[in-house]
A and B are shown apart, each in its own frame.
Chain A
């Protein structure tokens, strides 16, 4: 029986500090099938891919490829055996042509030098076969992201591999290009190759895949035949748990609408309209890149707004820069703490007052006593764990760094605070503290927007939810309509 499988994982485990990324996972893959890997962010899909392609070394278990057993696979070994990965991040050389990129690593040579003509001809044939209508001589930097993805796929196919692993290959593609890709996948399948397909888009999975393996929290839940299951069953396997009770109790009273946006457009989103009341926590759900963060950046003036209006307490705001947003009482706790939130090589006090330099200065001269007083206040209020206010932020834990970011926004006396992934990368205890703080702020009448990829947290914290998909709001959900499967469905684009 085992001989039917070209690739098998047996009891693969992989631990990272503090996380079990894979826990005794066994999956069998057949030649000539399209096999989907599905699961929420952090379920272990990409760790599986990395184990197969040799990017990481499993702690336990074995990988069987064509009957040979491997404890680990070296990246070059994987390539030589015919395993090709199409990653989400592009590995293309911007200043080289499509043809040169496709044949990078195995150039067509003539008398010791690269034969560009032959390369372009061969690349042209590959592209034509794929039904991609583009000149192989064009440079990568001059083509759209969708074409880059197709080139990336062509590059993998030119290697004539036995196993193709595609990680979210359609994320950047439009419908027409998805059609091209699917035609291609079907042909690879006919030729007897195995295609491992990772995607969040349910519809696609049912369109193209034969079998589906569901992952959750580093474990394999089960492998199903696509024709024997349905979307709802799949989602319930992916979610598979009840909401925990660890979110603070809330019985807040909402006030008037504080922030209202109408027909916001730009930065990859359009037609965004909603309002947030004082004391309310509005959740933004959706996949990464669906428009959640992009909308927050627009409101905050961090990106150029093409259309639409923003109102705070009923008055229209002219927001062209984050500085303007701050003046109107809007704050943003950004998703990338280290690169966007804190200045790592400077002190805690220094970081806290960065947003209020004008307020703590007279005639542009910073008043030390005012600076000390304000930073001391928030340092104490938020219980930042550090020996002193002068401590450089880079020496703090993730949770304490996040408190410093929070402090600098509380110092501005904001009316609206947008939290983008406020608990990413911080430990469980600190998470609880952040939840408590957010709730207290809402309790004091702050209008809060919370963006999160952690479904449990999003549903547990928010009073109301807006789900984004492909740059637009798919639907607004009331607390009574909450369910993880509903959000997942809306996020994958089904209205």
Chain B
């Protein structure tokens, strides 16, 4: 009985929390509840949301990728570098920058599957390496002066919908299709739930894990390009620290830290909660530092829910 109630709370609770937050912030500031502010929130969370979809692939296997934040900066900086220092067109520059992100994903996947380093440590090391690389490429200075066309990815819109939101929705659709309907997605859930049983059922555990890290980097790459285009400059600090927001959102959304469980819809709800929180707090006049504290508290809360769920399972 207790267990059932708890599972219900896990799956539905997140949506209730979202609604309650919206009501709360509307009461605090009536201009919170408006179409333009909601579009604003969606645009703000689109990069985090796309990263979250990618990170889910890794999380489902029971792994984690802490280097996604710095991947945002290196993909952005190298794309900027190709466009500005080599005068490349946006298309090849974007493809090259994106490819660099993929290489990092491959490296992460290989380290995690070929060595016994736990994913958290392996990707922590990768995070430092990538950070150093970003600074090396740009010598610590921002790179700007992009071709005008490039601004569309982060700043353009189709009708009244900003382009990043459209990309976000596309990523969510693709992500949930792959995870729910394909052999690959099914394998990831299996690996996260019981790796040994999966291996003994003929699933190529190592290969699927490797692909999961690559997919994670691919989604992160898309988020990186949006970020780059929106701030219109390649900066070594952009994206740094965002891995924590992504983790918080996913775990809040009911994706298990130990793998094997969770839905894209949950992760999206987690992302929206974080977005509503930070937008609402700004509108309520609470400072940025307060937000950092609250985000930490939310992460701990989400993890404790996850821990409780494990115990009840």
Name the contact of B196 in the complex, choosing from A340, A357, A361, A365 (C-beta under 8 A). Answer: A340
Tell me if A322 and B197 are in contact (CB < 8 A). no
Residues of B within 8 A of A332 (CB): 200
Tell me if B253 is interfacial: C-beta within 8 Å of chain A.
Answer: no
Looking at the assembled complex, report how far the CB atom of A368 sits from the nearest CB atom of chain B, in whole angstroms. 9
Mark the stretch among B9-17, B181-189, B232-240, B266-274 that contacts chain A: B181-189
In the bound complex, what is the Cα–Cα distance between A355 and B181 (angstroms)?
Answer: 16
Query: A344-B193, A354-B190 known; A322 and B200 CB under 8 Å?
Result: yes
| Contacts A339-B196, A340-B200, A355-B201; A366 near B313 (Cβ below 8 A) | no
Of residues 23 through 41 on chain B, the ones whose CB sits less than 8 Å from some CB of chain A are none
Interchain nearest-CB distance for B306 vs A (Å): 14
Interface string of A328-350 (1 = CB under 8 A from B): 00001010000111111110001
Is the Cβ of A408 less than 8 Å from the Cβ of B201? yes
In chain B, residues 173-215, which have Cβ atoms closer than 8 Å to a Cβ of chain A?
A: 181-184, 186-187, 189-190, 193-194, 196-204
Residues of B within 8 A of A361 (CB): 182-183
- Chain B residue, CB-CB nearest to A334: B200
Contact A322 B261 (CB under 8 A): no
State whether the Cβ of B63 lies closer than 8 Å to any Cβ in chain A: no
Q: Which residues from A are CB-within-8-Å of B196? A: 339-340
User: A364 to B202, Cβ gap below 8 A?
Assistant: no
Assess A343 versus B203: contact at CB under 8 Å? Given A364-B184, A366-B183. Answer: no
Separation in Å of the A427 CB from the closest CB of chain B? 23
How close is A361's CB to chain B, nearest CB, in angstroms? Answer: 5
| Best-surrounded residue of B196, B200, B203 (most CB of chain A within 10 A) | B200
B194 to chain A, nearest CB (A): 5
**CB-nearest residue of chain B to A333:** B200
Quick one: which of B48-78 are within 8 Å of A by CB? none
Selected from A344, A354, A366, the residue in CB contact (under 8 A) with B201 is A354
**Contact A345:B193 (CB < 8 A) given known A321-B204, A364-B184:** yes
Task: Point out which of A300, A341, A343 has the most chain B C-beta atoms below 10 A from its C-beta.
Answer: A343
Instruction: Please tell me which one of the listed residues A300, A343, A355, A366 contacts residue B193 in the complex, with CB atoms under 8 A apart.
Output: A343
Cβ–Cβ < 8 Å partners of B194 in chain A: 339, 342-344
Question: Would you call A323 an interface residue if the criterion is a C-beta within 8 Å of the partner chain's C-beta atoms?
Answer: yes
B260 within 8 Å of A (CB atoms): yes
A357 B186 Cβ-Cβ under 8 A: yes
- In the assembled complex, how far is the CB of residue A410 from the closest CB belonging to chain B, in whole angstroms? 13
B261 partner residues in chain A, CB cutoff 8 A:
345
- The yes or no answer to A358 lying at the interface (CB within 8 A) is yes
B181 touches A365 (CB 8 A): yes
In the complex, what residue of chain B is closest to A341 when comparing beta carbons? Answer: B197
Minimum distance in angstroms from B247 CB to a CB of chain A:
22
Instruction: Select from chain A the residue with minimum beta-carbon distance to B193.
Output: A343
Residues in B whose Cβ lies below 8 Å from that of A323: 202-204
A326 within 8 A of B: yes
Residue of A nearest to B182 (CB): A364
Residues of A within 8 A of B204 (CB): 321, 323
Chain B residues, CB < 8 A from A357: 183, 186-187, 203
* Cross-chain contact of B183 among A322, A326, A342, A358 (Cβ < 8 A): A358
Whether the pair B190, A302 counts as a contact (CB closer than 8 A) is no
Task: Convert A353-390 into 0s and 1s, putting 1 for each residue whose CB lies closer than 8 angstroms to a CB of B.
Answer: 01101100100111000000000000000000000000
Q: Is the CB of B190 within 8 A of A365?
A: no
| Contacting residues, chain B, for A355 (C-beta < 8 A) | 201-202
Q: How far is the CB of A197 from chain B (nearest CB, A)?
A: 35
Whole-angstrom CA separation of A361 from B183 in the bound complex: 7
Given A364-B182, A364-B184, A366-B183, decide whether A342 and B203 contact each other with a Cβ distance below 8 A.
no
Q: Is the CB of A343 within 8 A of B198?
A: yes
Complex Cα distance A357/B208, Å? 14
| Chain A neighbourhood of B203, CB < 8 A | 323, 354, 357
Contact A342 B197, CB 8 Å, known A354-B190, A357-B187, A358-B183: yes
The interface residues of chain B lying within 8 Å CB-to-CB of A326 are 202
Contact residues, A387-435 vs B (CB, 8 A): 394, 408
In the complex, A365 Cα to B178 Cα: how many Å?
8
A358–B186 Cα distance when bound, in Å, is: 11
Tell me whether A364 and B183 are in contact in the complex, defined as CB-CB below 8 angstroms, given that A321-B204, A322-B202, A345-B261 are known contacts.
Answer: yes
Once the chains bind, are B186 and A366 in contact (CB under 8 Å)? yes
Residue of A nearest to B187 (CB): A357
Kindly list chain A residues whose C-beta atoms are within 8 Å of the C-beta of B313. Answer: 345, 394
User: Which residues of A sit under 8 angstroms from B202, Cβ to Cβ?
Assistant: 321-323, 325-326, 355
Query: Which residues on A sit within 8 Å (CB–CB) of B181?
Result: 365-366
The interface residues of chain B lying within 8 Å CB-to-CB of A322 are: 199-202
Chain B minimum-CB-distance residue to A337:
B197
Which residue, of B190, B197, B260, has the highest number of chain A Cβ atoms within 10 A? B197
Q: How far is the CB of A362 from chain B (nearest CB, A)?
A: 10
Q: Whole-angstrom distance between the alpha carbons of A334 and B276 in the complex?
A: 49
A-B contact pairs, 14 of them (CB 8 A): A322-B199, A322-B201, A323-B202, A323-B204, A345-B193, A345-B313, A354-B186, A354-B198, A354-B201, A357-B183, A358-B183, A364-B182, A365-B183, A366-B186
Residues in A lying within 8 Å of B, measured CB to CB: 300, 302, 321-323, 325-326, 332, 334, 339-346, 350, 354-355, 357-358, 361, 364-366, 394, 408
Known A322-B200, A342-B194, A357-B187; further 8 A-B contacts with Cβ < 8 A: A323-B202, A323-B204, A332-B200, A343-B198, A354-B197, A355-B201, A364-B184, A365-B182
